[in-house]
Every structure is written in structure tokens, then in C-alpha cells.
């Protein structure tokens, strides 16, 4: 069996993002992960008889924000629909979702590819729906249901089938992860299921330049794989399915086609590091969508759209480009600083306060990142002000403190909120200059000012003035960090007199 | 309106979608009643509704939105007081695979 | 019968406020009346005797302490068993919710209690409000107090019978296709379905969400106005409730509507109508004409009632309604699956689908199953456009007819039901015949407008007759005033069945 040539992966992605609202989508229970089961529920999210949903405004606005950042249109009219299916984590046995008139439509996201190129991926729609609860499988003979997550606002972003390789899928997924964190609409913590991927994977067999042109080839069956909650599982799934299709084509030839087999649902098994069949087209759901009678449609006017647009600001790709260009930092550093927007905002504010960008970056990605990592938060959230950061960067630049001391000061600063100057003094962390460093500045001053040197050496009435001038020059070079006594001592040693 | 057969297969299919178990006899009876009712509903086919805007809500209400401010949830014991079967803080059901959707 | 039971809700409220009667006495009398009579009528699913007495005593204490009393202080009322209360059960007369204890109060239940009403108990109904006779209750068939071999109508049959039989001063029910108005007509009481959105649906167990509305069943028009005032208003828990001030319905009630224009619905005045009911509508026309109203013939073409070759009645509105209502119901009732609350099969089941299917098969009655199936069918792939979507379009046409009619009229006049209360068991065999009981009430829910059923005397066989008045959206004030005009002029009010007189 030979591997078929002329195949082209064609992949579309659905991404579910849990929105970081304070409360759930239709009730005011806390939207919180990790608490004991069924501690954040009420008649509405348990789906009790008589309860009614009321739409969370923040959820709508967060969704608009993502849609607009994805260059989507936000239509004037949007409504809610019920999607029916039975599952124990879906207490009403229907999910409130959006069917034919989603909140945002027709956008795109430009994703970076290796070699510095970008590719535009079409976004079909991004719609708002409620999350289901959680089925817990830790019991030997039954399943437990926890409804804490039931009713959490969930944004479903659907791409066009524009992705053509695993690399593109991963680049898109990472860009999307960064974007929603950036916009502050989701923590997108994948371990907590706050971001889940659902690729639709097929291979085009035929001329890769003519995908969708039926005279030039055909599609293998489409595999839909749900609920992937790590980059690793997404990557592995895409590769696995592509390989699987290749093998089936080799085995079955033309019989392995979308027309013959249809669409199938597969699931990824972490333990097997492979996918397994779930159901075929014969068992496809009939979701019986119809307009949700309990919720009013939403009409979005220009004023509302503009208000949201203003909240979006500079997007990560643009910011990263600016950092590379203006701050002259590395690609890796720029990436790390554009994972979310407050972190970059902190950097920009510190630079605006007169600090050197590179030094701020080192501090943020050094001690800052390690503290953030310990706390499991973003760098911007470790409680440090731009003023503190700028001052510390300047102290470093001026040699008032060395790198080790700066780390200590940084940690203390985060802990106490004091200014770095105060901490340095109190903790005795100000630099005690070694003769070598000051000596270098003295040498520089001597080299640059031959006339003054001559005047000193010559002695006489000009000597004192020239000595004072040279001392001043060295002090300037040291950024005010050296003490005049040290400087004068060295000048005397080098010049005599 | 379109020709459609209310046969046992269709009744069985609808019963599965609706999650209602029924005996053959019940399906038979229901099928007969269904045929009569559906024939009656077909009367709507007489009306010309081209270009008519569907009316899903009785009134034209728009933009009913709540602020994202936490309110009170039910204590677990109260929330689960009606649960037919539990395992500690969980609702208990026969084994299912994965999460929904 | 005690004098207290003879007072209207308004009269009782005033007597309690004046200290002539205590809330405890009134509540005791009503509880005694229930004790004596409900064996025959079966209006109640559950009585809260102890709690009611406790609440009544609190009202009395409040009064003696000189505190302000609510609009319904001390008035014993009944609540349909599909309105959630945090006390007792909320069963919807279904096996599937037989032991369901809601952990919260419906907004209406809360409003009644904060107005000082004493909730005596929960009344019987057709299971999940699906029916027109209260025979579809999983527990009991409620009897018509005028003739216990007849049905009280439905689905709010328990509430209507309780009011008629003086087992409460007034009651609330719900109306999805006529479920307040038709039983009110059958039992000789006033039944009002408010405009959709006028009264909060929060805590009303949903049947057809875009049609359901809670409203009062009362002995006279004034009591209806009193109750509506207490339960109406915006509720942030119900997105479909309307933020709009509630008029003082009682204050203006006795003021006749000047230059009243009454539309007589041509299509409803057909030959298929029962002679006595037709005569009752004609008499109402005369009463309004005599009162100086202008009578205008109006047309509701899409609500018209035809008689086919087989003599069977048919109407677009009924077809439209049964598609919209059952589609919504199929989804609303999906939650009863034996997982989070409600009946769960005791059988050992193999998997989750079996758990669902068997629990539901055991828990739902035949009519509920039929409607869930019909609604599922109407929404299912391949049939959606032909049924559900088509019905939504026809609904618009029906609504447009009403809009047009109200351009020239203040209220519309028509019958409530095609006949008087029928015999128990008479229509249970043929579901379609039962559906046709709603032929004159159904389009009102589709259009979202208010409607009121007013007693119009008794038939030759001694069963209540009624007429129906319809108003434009949020025109309850006009509607009630027009109803009051009829009530005053006809002198027909607070009809008392023999069964009560015997007691
Ligand atoms: Zn909740």
C-alpha cells in the first residue's frame, strides 16, 4: 500500500471559549470553576420548572468584542434559539444558542506562519450559547453530574475551512488563545476547559490548487472531533486524522469519500493518544432548533457598536510588530509580552515614564514572569505600577543597583508596594561600586578631556578647577551613582597631584 | 401540502427524539390519532404565507439584559432536595461517555 | 353557607380592613367549606390549612397593630398547581412532578402573599395545562359545581370550580389557549387572560412559553380588577414581562367607557354555534347598544370557524395554535427526565436513554405524550418549514387581523366556547374534538391580547353561559370597564350553584 500523492488537508475549526463574566449567562449564580459540585446553582441553571432565563449583558458585549476583533460584522438584529438534545449535563435538555442570526458574522484573522508570512483565515461566525454542566466519570458504576458550569456563557467561533496544515491549525489556535486573553473576555485556561477546540478534518484528494472544484478532486469523509482541551491534543488529533485518512485512501481508494461515508464524529483518547469512532451520519442529531420564546432578541445600534470598538484598542499582532520595531526586543520576548493586553500596557507606561524598554522587558520577563508563574496569574497582575517598574529600570541603568539586587528589590516591591529607591536604601541594596567600574569612567573622562588632564598635571591655579571639571565628568558618566569621594580618590591616583 | 406517511417507523423515530418509551400497541394508537391531527394541521397549507414575517413572540420586546452582578445561589441541599438519585454532591445517572454536544 | 363566603373578595377585604371580620375567621370558613365540599368537586390537589391559618393570624395581628394592609389582606385565594410555591408541592397534576417541591415562589405567588392574600391551596388542572376539561389530571377529575356529572372546563378547572363553589374568594390560573376563560365560562365565573407580558410568568411551569399568561378567576368583574392589579407588573426575572405602569384598574372600573365601540366578530357568530350561546351573544349586543355603544361588525378571517362536510368544526387558528403550543411544549417538557428532579423509573435501566424514555413514559399522561410527540414532529428535520414555520407565519396573519379590527373598535365581542360544559368522559376518546373546545379562545393567545369571559346566565339545563370580550394589547382597563358595563346592565353576577346553597 502506497501513500497517495496529491492530498491536501482541509480543516475548519470550532472554538469554544468560556467568557469570564462574574455570573452565568441566564442567572446570577457565580461563574466560578473548581468549587464543590452543585454549589453554584439555582432554579434557572438547574432548569427547574417555571424558571426563566435573563440574558447577561456583559456576555453579549464580550462576544461582540471578540467578533469585532475578528473583523466580523455585528448585525443589527440577533436572536436566541433552542437546540434540543438529551444529556444529563444539560438540565433543560435544550441548549440556548444561536442558530440563523448569530451575534457576529463574516470576519477573519491573520495568522503568522513560519518565515514571517501571514495567512488570512475566514471566520464564519461567532455566536453566544450556554455551556453545559460537567459529567464526572470518577465513579465505577455510574456518572455524576455537576451543574456549576451549566449556563456559563460560551462563545463559539467557527472558521471557514481555510486551514491547510497542522501548522496552520496550531498557529490559528494560538492566535485565538492570545486574542481572547488579550481582550480580557476569557482566561482561556485550557486545563479548566475554558477553551476547547473542535476541528473538522478532511483531505482533498486531487489538485491542491483546486480544492472544492469537483472536477479536480474529491473530499474524504469529514471527521469532527469534539472537546479538545489542549494544544497538544489538537495537534495530535489533526495529525492522527490526516494519517488515518491517508491510510484509508490507500486501502479503499475512491470509496473513502465524503459522498460515500459522510460526516463522522470521533473522539480523542488521551490515554491512547489516538482517536476513536463515536458516531456516523446515520445517527446524526436532529437538534430541532426554534426561536427561544423566553428571551427577547437583541438589537445592536451604531452607538453600542462604537462603544465596544473603543474598548478593543491595539490588537496583539499590531502590538507585537510595534515592539519588534520600536523596542528592538526579540521575537520571543515580544510574544511573551503580548499574551494579554495589561502586561504590554504596563511596559508601555513604564517606557513612557522614561525607562529604557529593554531593561523593563528584562525585569518583567525575569523576576516578574517567575512571580506571575508562581501565582498563576499574568505579569500585569502581580501588583506593580509602571512608576515602580520605570524607577527600578532607571536604577539599573544608572548602576545604582546590580541585577541581583534588582531582583530582590522587585520581589520586595511586589510584596510591600514601596518604591524601589526606598527599598534599596532600607535593605542596603544600593551598589557599592568597585574601583574597577569607577576606574573605567575615570579612564574615559581622562581620555576625552586632554586639556583638563594637562591642567591638573601642570599644577598651578588652573589645577583645582580642572580637577573639579573631571570629577563632574566622571559623576555624569556614572549617572550620579558614584560618590565624589571615590571619584576624587581615583583621579588622584591616576593623575597624581 | 407534501405527501407524508405517518407510519410506525416515523412514530418510533419521533418517540426516540422525544425520549418516550412506548409499546407497539401504543405506537399504533398514537399513529392513528396522529394521522388525524396532522391532516387537520395540513389545513394551514391552504393559506398563502409568502413574504409573511414569522411571529415567534407575542410582543415586540427587545434588548432585555441584566447586569453582570452576582446574586444568590441555592444551598446545595436545597438545590438537590428533589434529586431522585445522588452520590454526595452529584446527581447520579447511569454511565455516560464524555460531556454533551 | 356562611356570610363570609358570600362576600366578594373585595367585600371581604374591606370587611377585614374595617375589623368586621377577621382574616382568621374568613380563612377558617373557607377551609371548612373545602372540607365539606371538595370531596364532591375535587378542585384542590393540596390544602395548606395550617399555613393559611398562620398567615391569616399574622394579617390580623398586623391590623390590630395598625399597620398598613395590602390590597388583598386576609383574602383566601387558590393557586393553580402549575404556579410554583416554596411551600407544598407544585405538581402540574402530573405524576412526573407528583412529589416536586419548588425551592422558590413564582413571582405571582409572591405578589399575592405580599398583598396579604392567604393561599389556601393548589388547584387541580389538566396535566401541564394540556386539556380543556381537567380530566387530564393524573390525580382526579374535577367536577363542575353546577352539575357534578359535567366537566368544569380546563385546564384551570380546579381554580374555576373552587371559585364557583365558594371554596376560595378568588383564584389564579393560567391561560395558554383559553385555559382561564373556558373553565370560567363553564363554571359561571369571571376569567381574565391579561395581555402577554402584563403578568410575570416567572414560576409558572411553562407549557407554551409564547402563549402562557397567568390571570385571575373571580366571582365578579371588580374582583378580577382587584386581583389583576395585585399580580400585574414588570418582573426582571421574566424577559418577556413588560416594563409599563399598572393602571388602577379598580379606581376607574365603574366609569362606563364613553362612545364604546364594540366589534362583533362575524366569523365567530356562525351557525355552528350553540343556540343558547348565540342568544347570549345577541343579548350582549343588545345590552351594549342600549348602553349607547356602537356595534361594528368586524372580521377575523384567519380565525374563522368552518364546518366541513363531516360536520366537524375547523379553524386555521386551532391548527396554528396546536403547532406553536406543542412545539414549545415539546421543548419545555424535555427537562422532565428523572435526573435532577421529578419522577424517575424504579426499574433497573441499561443506559441513560432508557432511563429518560421509561421515566417519561411512566410520568406523563397520554395527552401530554401526544402533544410532546406532535411538537417534536413539527420541529423535526424535514417538517419544520411545513408545520412550525408555517404556523408562525399564520400566527402573524391572525395577529394582523386583530390589529385591523382594533383600529375601529375598543373591544371585540364573541363567544367563549362553542357549547356549555360537557359531560365527563364525553370527549376523552377523540383528542381533536377536545382541541376544538378552544376554537374561540385560541387566537387571543396567538395575538397576545387580553380577553375576559363573563357569565351570561344559565342555560335551560342549568349550566352557565358566557360571553367573551377581547381588548387591544395592554387595554385591560378598557376591557374591564366594558365588562363591568355588561355586568351592571345584565345584572348577572356572582352566580351561586345549588351545591353551595345546599352546603
Ligand atoms: Zn443559576
| Helices vs strands, H then E, count in chain B | 3, 3
CB-CB: which of C104, C336, C339 is closest to A43?
C104
- CA A158 – ligand 1 centroid, Å: 27
CB-CB: which of B14, B54, B64 is closest to C396?
B54
Cβ atoms of A60 and B66 within 8 Å: the answer is no
CB-CB: which of B70, B89, B94 is closest to A36?
B89
- Tell how strand C190-193 and strand C118-123 pair up: unpaired
A2 part of a folded domain = no
Rama region for C423: left / alpha / beta (φ>0; ψ in -120 to 50; rest): beta
Q: Considering only CB atoms, which chain A residues are within 8 Å of B84?
A: none
**How does pLDDT run across B66-78, given as a tens digit for each residue?**
999 999 999 999 9
- Tell how strand C213-218 and strand C170-175 pair up: antiparallel
With a cut of 60, say whether residue A458 has pLDDT above it: yes
Contact partners, residue C3, CB within 8 Å, separation at least 6: none
Mean pLDDT over residues A300-320, rounded? Answer: 92
With a cut of 70, say whether residue A2 has pLDDT above it: no
**How does pLDDT run across C38-59, given as a tens digit for each residue?**
999 999 999 999 999 999 999 9
Cβ atoms of C468 and C416 within 8 Å: the answer is yes
List the catalytic residues of C. 80, 155, 179
**How does pLDDT run across A245-257, given as a tens digit for each residue?**
999 999 998 999 9
For A:204-223, CB contacts with B below 8 A are none
Chains A & C: contacts with CB separation below 8 Å: 102
Q: Does A82 touch chain C (CB under 8 A)?
A: yes
CB-CB: which of B47, B64, B74 is closest to C394?
B47
More confident residue, A338 or A289: A289
For helices A435-448 and A463-477, give the axis angle rounded to 10 degrees.
120
Chains A & B: contacts with CB separation below 8 Å: 140
Nearest-Cα distance to chain B for A249, in Å, is 29
- For chain A, how many residues are written? 497
Separation in Å, CA C273 to CA C291, C303, C418:
26, 15, 5
Same domain, A325 and A282: no
Contact partners, residue C239, CB within 8 Å, separation at least 6: A52, A53, A54, A55, A294, A295, A296, B61, B64
- CA A89 – ligand 1 centroid, Å: 14
Q: Does A96 touch chain C (CB under 8 A)?
A: no
**CATH number of the CATH domain containing A457:** 1.10.10.410
Same domain, A205 and A322: no
- Tell how strand C305-307 and strand C313-315 pair up: antiparallel
Nearest-Cα distance to chain A for C9, in Å, is 27
Same domain, A350 and A295: no
pLDDT at B4: 60
Same domain, A417 and A468: no
pLDDT at C278: 95
- CA C17 – ligand 1 centroid, Å: 40
Domains in chain B: boundaries = 8-45
Q: Distance between CA atoms of C25 and A224, rounded to whole angstroms? A: 69
Mean pLDDT over residues A220-242, rounded? Answer: 96
Q: Does A51 touch chain B (CB under 8 A)?
A: no
DSSP A364: I
| Nine-digit cell string for A356 | 529604557
A1 part of a folded domain = no
| Contact at CB, C331 and A94, closer than 8 angstroms | yes
Q: What is the largest CA-CA distance in chain C?
A: 71
Q: What is the largest CA-CA distance in chain A?
A: 106
C273 part of a folded domain = no
Q: Considering only CB atoms, which chain C residues are within 8 Å of A56?
A: none
Chosen for mutation from A90, A135, A286 (greatest number of chain B CBs closer than 10 Å) is A135
Q: Distance between CA atoms of A137 and A141, rounded to whole angstroms? A: 9
pLDDT at A402: 77
Those chains having 3 or more beta-carbon pairs within 8 angstroms of chain A are: B, C
| Contact at CB, B87 and A88, closer than 8 angstroms | no
With a cut of 70, say whether residue A481 has pLDDT above it: no
Contact partners, residue A116, CB within 8 Å, separation at least 6: none
C157 part of a folded domain = yes
Same domain, A442 and A421: no
Q: Does B72 touch chain A (CB under 8 A)?
A: yes
- Tell how strand A217-219 and strand B86-87 pair up: unpaired
Nearest-Cα distance to chain B for C122, in Å, is 19
With a cut of 70, say whether residue A432 has pLDDT above it: no
**How does pLDDT run across C102-133, given as a tens digit for each residue?**
999 999 999 999 999 999 999 999 999 999 99
* Containing structural domain, residue A242: 7-303
Contact partners, residue A118, CB within 8 Å, separation at least 6: A110, A111, A112
C332 part of a folded domain = no
| Contact at CB, A297 and B70, closer than 8 angstroms | no
Output the CA torsion C40→C43→C44→C45 (10° steps): 90
Give the dihedral sign, CA A321/A323/A325/A329.
negative
Collect all residues from C whose CB is shorter than 8 A from any CB in A: 82-84, 90, 92, 97, 100, 102-104, 106, 201-206, 208-210, 236-240, 327-328, 330-331, 334-337, 339-341, 352-353, 356, 376, 379-381, 384, 388
Please provide residue A432's backbone torsions phi and psi, each rounded to the nearest 5 degrees.
Answer: -100, 110
Cβ atoms of C323 and C398 within 8 Å: the answer is no
C374 part of a folded domain = no
User: Which helix H or strand E contains A154, and what residues bound it?
Assistant: strand A153-159
Q: Considering only CB atoms, which chain A residues are within 8 Å of C201?
A: 52
From first to last of the 503 residues of chain C, give the pLDDT tens digit. 678 999 999 999 999 999 999 999 999 999 999 999 999 999 999 999 999 999 999 999 999 999 999 999 999 999 999 999 999 999 999 999 999 999 999 999 999 999 999 999 999 999 999 999 999 999 999 999 999 999 999 999 999 999 999 999 999 999 999 999 999 999 999 999 999 999 999 999 999 999 999 999 999 999 999 999 999 999 999 999 999 999 999 999 999 999 999 999 998 887 778 899 999 999 999 999 999 999 999 999 999 888 777 777 788 999 999 999 999 999 999 999 999 999 999 999 999 999 999 999 999 999 999 999 999 999 999 899 999 999 999 999 999 999 999 999 999 999 999 999 999 999 988 888 888 889 999 999 999 999 999 999 999 999 999 999 999 999 999 999 999 999 999 999 999 999 998 87
Q: Distance between CA atoms of A277 and A279, rounded to whole angstroms? A: 6
How many domains does chain C contain in total?
Answer: 1
**How does pLDDT run across A92-149, given as a tens digit for each residue?**
999 999 999 999 999 999 998 888 788 999 999 999 999 999 999 999 899 999 999 9
Contact partners, residue A307, CB within 8 Å, separation at least 6: none
- Tell how strand B65-66 and strand C261-265 pair up: unpaired
Our measurement of the distance from residue A131's CA atom to the centroid of its chain's CA atoms, rounded to an integer in Å, reads 21
SS3 C449: coil
Q: Distance between CA atoms of C430 and C366, rounded to whole angstroms? A: 12
Contact partners, residue C497, CB within 8 Å, separation at least 6: C145, C146, C164, C165, C188
| Nine-digit cell string for A412 | 520586595
A16 pLDDT band, cuts 50/70/90, is: very high
Nearest CA in chain B to A45: B73
| Nine-digit cell string for A3 | 501513500
Nearest-Cα distance to chain B for C452, in Å, is 18
Give the dihedral sign, CA C341/C343/C349/C352.
negative
Give the angle subtended at the CA of A246 by the CAs of A243 and A251, to the nearest 5°.
130
Q: Distance between CA atoms of C494 and C489, rounded to whole angstroms? A: 14
pLDDT at A369: 93
- CA A438 – ligand 1 centroid, Å: 67
A404 pLDDT band, cuts 50/70/90, is: confident
Same domain, A422 and A447: no
Nearest CA in chain B to C358: B21
Contact partners, residue C451, CB within 8 Å, separation at least 6: C181, C192, C193, C441, C444, C468, C469, C470, C471, C479
Q: Distance between CA atoms of A223 and A203, rounded to whole angstroms? A: 10
Those chains having 3 or more beta-carbon pairs within 8 angstroms of chain B are: A, C
Same domain, A406 and A488: no
pLDDT at A429: 74
For helices A484-495 and A435-448, give the axis angle rounded to 10 degrees.
60
Q: How many CB atoms lie within 10 A of CB B28?
A: 12
- Tell how strand C118-123 and strand C76-80 pair up: parallel
- Which range is least confidently modeled, A41-50, A344-353, A456-465, C451-460? A456-465
* Containing structural domain, residue C441: 3-262+407-501
Q: Can you give the C-alpha Rg of chain B in angstroms?
A: 22
Q: Distance between CA atoms of A22 and C248, rounded to whole angstroms? A: 39
- Which range is least confidently modeled, A317-321, A360-364, C44-48? A317-321
**CATH number of the CATH domain containing C153:** 3.90.1300.10
Q: Distance between CA atoms of C485 and C289, rounded to whole angstroms? A: 11
**How does pLDDT run across A57-95, given as a tens digit for each residue?**
999 999 999 999 999 999 999 999 999 999 999 999 999
Q: Distance between CA atoms of B78 and A229, rounded to whole angstroms? A: 33
For B:31-70, CB contacts with A below 8 A are 56-57, 61-70
How would you class C251 by CB atoms within 10 Å of its CB: exposed for 0-12, middle for 13-18, buried for 19 or more? exposed
pLDDT at A340: 84
Cβ atoms of C127 and C94 within 8 Å: the answer is yes
Same domain, A266 and A221: yes
pLDDT at B3: 46
Same domain, A463 and A341: no
| Nine-digit cell string for C147 | 352539575
With a cut of 90, say whether residue A5 has pLDDT above it: no
With a cut of 90, say whether residue A242 has pLDDT above it: yes
**pTM, 2 dp:** 0.89
A4 pLDDT band, cuts 50/70/90, is: low
Same domain, A195 and A47: yes
Separation in Å, CA A323 to CA A224, A330, A409:
38, 9, 26
How many domains does chain A contain in total?
Answer: 3
**How does pLDDT run across C276-304, given as a tens digit for each residue?**
999 999 999 999 999 999 999 999 999 98
| Contact at CB, A50 and C204, closer than 8 angstroms | yes
Please state whether the peptide bond connecting residue A199 to the residue before it is cis, i.e. omega within 30 degrees of 0.
no
A438 pLDDT band, cuts 50/70/90, is: confident
The residues facing A122 across adjacent strands are A108
pLDDT at A486: 76
Q: Considering only CB atoms, which chain C residues are within 8 Å of A54?
A: 236-239
C390 part of a folded domain = no
Give the dihedral sign, CA B56/B59/B64/B70.
negative
**How does pLDDT run across B32-79, given as a tens digit for each residue?**
888 888 888 898 999 999 999 999 999 999 999 999 999 999 999 999
pLDDT at A474: 85
The residues facing C469 across adjacent strands are C413, C452
Amino acid at each position: 500500500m502506497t501513500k497517495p500523492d496529491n492530498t491536501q488537508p482541509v480543516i475548519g475549526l470550532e472554538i469554544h471559549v468560556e467568557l469570564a463574566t462574574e455570573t452565568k449567562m441566564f442567572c446570577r449564580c457565580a461563574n466560578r470553576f473548581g468549587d464543590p459540585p452543585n454549589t453554584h446553582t439555582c432554579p434557572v441553571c438547574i432548569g427547574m420548572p417555571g424558571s426563566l432565563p435573563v440574558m447577561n449583558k456583559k456576555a453579549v458585549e464580550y462576544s461582540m468584542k471578540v467578533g469585532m476583533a475578528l473583523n466580523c460584522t455585528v448585525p443589527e438584529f440577533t436572536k436566541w434559539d433552542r437546540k434540543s438534545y438529551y444529556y444529563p449535563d444539560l438540565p433543560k435538555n435544550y441548549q440556548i444558542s444561536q442558530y440563523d442570526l448569530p451575534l457576529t458574522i463574516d470576519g477573519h484573522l491573520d495568522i503568522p506562519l513560519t518565515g514571517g508570512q501571514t495567512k488570512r483565515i475566514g471566520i464564519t461566525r461567532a455566536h453566544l450559547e450556554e455551556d453545559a454542566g460537567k459529567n464526572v466519570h470518577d465513579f465505577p458504576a455510574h456518572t455524576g453530574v455537576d451543574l456549576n458550569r451549566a449556563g456559563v456563557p460560551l462563545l463559539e467561533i467557527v472558521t471557514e475551512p481555510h486551514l491547510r496544515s497542522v501548522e496552520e491549525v496550531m498557529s490559528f489556535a494560538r492566535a485565538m488563545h492570545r486574542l481572547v486573553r488579550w481582550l480580557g473576555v476569557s482566561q482561556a485556561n485550557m486545563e479548566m476547559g475554558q477553551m476547547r477546540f473542535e476541528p473538522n478534518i478532511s483531505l482533498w484528494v486531487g489538485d491542491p490548487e483546486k480544492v472544492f472544484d469537483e472536477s479536480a478532486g474529491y473530499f474524504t469523509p469529514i471527521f469532527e472531533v469534539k472537546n479538545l482541551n489542549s494544544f497538544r491534543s489538537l495537534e495530535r488529533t489533526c495529525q492522527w486524522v490526516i494519517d488515518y485518512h491517508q491510510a484509508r485512501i490507500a486501502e479503499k481508494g475512491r470509496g473513502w469519500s465524503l459522498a460515500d461515508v459522510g460526516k463522522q464524529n470521533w473522539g480523542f483518547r488521551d490515554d491512547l493518544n489516538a482517536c476513536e469512532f463515536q458516531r456516523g451520519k446515520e445517527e446524526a442529531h436532529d437538534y430541532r432548533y426554534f426561536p427561544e420564546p423566553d428571551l427577547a432578541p437583541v438589537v445592536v445600534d451604531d452607538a453600542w457598536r462604537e462603544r465596544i470598538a473603543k474598548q478593543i484598542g491595539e490588537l496583539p499582532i499590531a502590538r507585537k510588530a510595534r515592539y519588534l520595531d520600536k523596542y528592538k526586543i526579540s521575537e520571543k520576548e515580544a510574544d511573551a509580552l503580548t499574551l494579554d493586553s495589561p502586561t504590554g500596557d504596563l511596559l508601555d507606561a513604564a517606557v513612557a515614564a522614561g525607562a529604557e524598554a529593554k531593561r523593563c522587558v528584562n525585569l518583567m520577563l525575569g523576576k516578574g514572569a517567575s512571580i506571575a508563574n508562581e501565582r498563576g496569574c499574568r505579569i500585569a497582575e502581580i501588583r506593580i505600577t509602571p512608576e515602580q517598574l520605570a524607577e527600578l529600570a532607571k536604577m539599573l541603568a544608572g548602576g545604582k543597583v546590580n541585577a541581583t539586587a534588582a531582583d530582590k528589590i522587585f520581589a520586595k516591591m511586589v510584596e510591600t508596594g514601596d518604591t524601589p529607591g526606598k527599598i534599596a536604601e532600607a535593605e542596603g541594596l544600593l551598589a557599592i561600586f568597585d574601583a574597577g567600574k569607577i576606574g573605567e569612567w575615570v579612564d574615559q573622562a581622562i581620555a576625552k578631556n586632554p586639556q583638563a588632564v594637562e591642567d591638573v598635571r601642570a599644577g598651578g591655579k588652573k589645577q583645582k578647577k580642572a580637577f573639579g571639571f573631571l570629577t563632574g565628568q566622571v559623576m555624569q558618566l556614572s549617572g550620579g551613582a558614584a560618590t565624589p569621594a571615590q571619584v576624587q580618590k581615583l583621579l588622584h591616583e591616576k593623575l597624581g597631584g | 401540502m407534501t405527501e407524508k406517511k405517518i407510519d410506525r417507523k416515523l412514530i418510533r423515530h419521533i418517540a426516540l427524539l422525544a425520549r418516550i418509551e412506548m409499546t407497539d400497541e401504543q405506537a399504533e394508537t398514537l399513529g392513528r390519532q396522529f394521522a388525524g391531527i396532522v391532516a387537520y394541521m395540513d389545513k394551514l397549507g391552504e393559506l398563502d404565507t409568502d413574504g409573511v414575517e414569522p411571529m415567534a413572540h407575542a410582543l415586540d420586546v427587545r434588548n432585555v439584559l441584566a447586569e453582570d452582578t452576582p446574586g444568590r445561589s441555592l444551598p446545595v441541599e436545597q438545590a438537590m432536595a428533589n434529586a431522585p438519585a445522588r452520590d454526595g454532591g452529584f446527581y447520579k445517572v447511569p454511565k455516560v461517555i464524555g460531556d454533551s454536544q | 353557607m356562611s356570610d363570609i363566603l358570600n362576600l366578594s373578595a373585595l367585600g371581604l377585604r374591606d370587611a377585614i380592613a374595617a375589623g368586621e371580620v377577621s382574616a382568621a375567621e374568613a380563612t377558617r370558613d373557607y377551609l371548612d367549606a373545602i372540607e365539606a365540599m371538595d370531596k364532591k368537586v375535587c378542585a384542590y390537589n393540596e390544602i395548606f390549612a395550617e399555613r393559611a391559618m398562620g398567615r391569616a393570624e399574622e394579617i390580623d395581628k398586623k391590623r390590630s397593630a395598625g399597620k398598613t394592609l395590602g390590597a388583598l389582606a386576609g383574602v383566601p385565594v387558590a393557586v393553580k398547581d402549575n404556579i410554583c410555591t416554596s411551600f407544598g408541592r407544585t405538581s402540574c397534576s402530573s405524576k412526573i412532578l407528583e412529589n416536586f417541591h419548588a425551592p422558590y415562589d413564582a413571582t405571582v405567588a409572591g405578589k399575592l402573599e405580599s398583598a396579604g392574600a392567604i393561599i389556601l391551596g393548589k388547584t387541580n388542572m389538566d396535566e401541564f395545562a394540556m386539556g380543556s376539561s381537567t380530566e387530564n389530571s393524573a390525580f382526579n377529575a374535577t367536577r363542575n359545581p353546577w352539575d357534578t356529572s359535567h366537566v368544569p372546563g380546563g385546564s384551570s378547572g380546579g381554580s374555576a370550580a373552587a371559585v364557583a363553589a365558594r371554596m376560595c374568594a378568588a383564584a389564579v390560573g393560567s391561560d395558554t389557549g383559553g385555559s382561564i376563560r373556558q373553565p370560567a365560562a363553564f363554571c359561571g365565573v369571571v376569567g381574565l387572560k391579561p395581555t402577554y407580558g402584563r403578568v410575570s410568568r416567572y414560576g409558572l411551569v411553562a407549557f407554551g412559553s409564547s402563549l402562557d399568561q397567568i390571570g385571575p378567576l373571580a366571582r365578579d368583574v371588580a374582583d378580577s380588577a382587584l386581583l389583576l392589579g395585585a399580580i400585574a407588573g414588570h418582573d426582571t426575572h421574566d424577559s418577556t414581562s413588560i416594563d409599563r405602569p399598572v393602571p388602577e384598574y379598580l379606581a376607574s372600573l365603574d366609569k362606563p367607557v364613553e362612545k364604546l365601540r364594540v366589534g362583533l366578530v362575524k366569523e365567530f357568530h356562525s351557525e355552528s354555534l350553540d343556540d343558547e350561546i348565540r342568544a347570549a351573544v345577541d343579548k350582549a349586543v343588545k345590552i351594549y347598544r342600549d348602553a349607547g355603544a356602537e356595534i361594528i361588525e368586524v372580521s377575523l378571517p384567519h380565525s374563522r370557524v368552518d364546518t366541513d362536510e363531516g360536520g366537524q368544526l375547523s379553524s386555521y387558528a386551532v391548527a396554528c395554535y396546536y403547532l406553536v403550543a406543542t412545539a414549545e411544549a415539546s421543548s419545555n417538557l424535555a427537562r422532565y427526565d428523572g435526573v435532577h428532579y421529578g419522577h424517575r423509573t424504579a426499574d433497573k435501566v441499561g443506559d441513560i436513554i432508557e432511563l429518560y424514555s421509561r421515566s417519561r413514559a411512566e410520568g406523563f399522561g397520554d395527552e401530554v405524550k401526544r402533544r410532546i410527540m406532535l411538537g417534536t414532529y413539527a420541529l423535526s428535520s424535514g417538517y419544520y418549514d411545513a408545520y412550525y414555520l408555517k404556523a408562525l407565519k399564520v400566527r402573524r396573519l391572525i395577529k394582523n387581523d386583530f390589529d385591523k379590527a382594533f383600529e375601529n373598535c375598543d373591544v371585540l365581542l364573541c363567544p367563549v366556547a362553542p357549547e356549555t360544559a360537557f359531560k365527563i368522559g364525553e370527549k376523552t376518546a377523540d383528542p381533536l374534538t377536545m382541541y376544538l373546545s378552544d376554537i374561540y379562545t385560541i387566537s387571543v393567545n396567538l395575538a397576545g391580547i387580553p380577553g375576559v369571559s363573563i357569565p351570561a346566565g344559565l342555560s335551560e339545563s342549568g349550566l352557565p353561559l358566557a360571553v367573551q370580550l377581547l381588548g387591544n394589547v395592554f387595554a385591560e382597563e378598557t376591557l374591564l370597564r366594558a365588562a363591568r358595563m355588561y355586568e351592571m346592565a345584565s345584572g348577572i353576577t356572582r352566580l351561586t350553584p345549588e351545591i353551595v346553597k345546599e352546603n
